Each structure stands twice: as structure tokens, then as C-alpha cells.
Amino acid sequence: MKWTVAKAKAKLSEVMERAEREGPQHITRHGEEKVVVVSVEEWERKSKRRGNLAEFFARSPLRGAGLNLKRKKDGPRESGL
């Protein structure tokens, strides 16, 4: 459901209840979506870390694909400051 800022302010309890019951609640300002209210349960599920970077690469479908990547030997970039 989409809410304007004014309506979300006036009905914050309802916005929160619906986020828990129905899922994410979108809040708009001047017709543009600006924020989403989600339940703590959904936030924790979505933001839960699933392993470290090494584990991520180990699970990659490209692992063992025979990619041969070579690093360029050129020097550091010049500072633009």
C-alpha cells in the first residue's frame, strides 16, 4: 500500500500494523516513493548476513568455469586533486 507523508503521520499505528500483517508500506512525498516501512521480522530476514565474502565466491556458479583473468601491470592513477 502507498501512503502520503501526511496520511502516514496521521495513521502511524495503522501503517505499522499493516507492515506487520500485509508487508511493506510505501510512503510517498510529492508523488515519489521515498521510504518503505517494514516489520522487524522482515527487516531481519532481508538484512541477515549470509556468510562472508570468501563463502560467497565459493558458492558462485562461475567457480570452476575456467575464467582466466589477468591483472593489468600499469601503475597507479594520478590524483585529480
In a domain? residue 76: no
- Say what the pLDDT of residue 48 is: 84
In a domain? residue 72: no
User: What range does the domain containing 26 cover?
Assistant: 2-58
In a domain? residue 34: yes
Task: Single out the residue of 10, 9, 40, 8 nearest to residue 25, CA to CA.
Answer: 8
Query: Domain with 44 in it: what CATH number?
Result: 3.40.1620.10
Whole-model pTM: value is 0.61
The residues near 15 (Cβ < 8 Å, ≥ 6 apart) are 3, 8, 25, 27, 37
In a domain? residue 71: no
pLDDT tens for the 81 residues of the chain, in order: 899 999 999 999 999 999 999 999 999 999 999 999 999 999 999 888 778 888 888 888 888 888 787 888 888 888 876
Contact 8, 18 (CB under 8 A): no
For residue 12, give the C-alpha cell.
Answer: 502511524
What is the distance between the alpha carbons of residues 43 and 70, in angstroms, rounded to a whole number? 39
In a domain? residue 81: no
In a domain? residue 6: yes
Q: How many independent structural domains does the chain possess?
A: 1
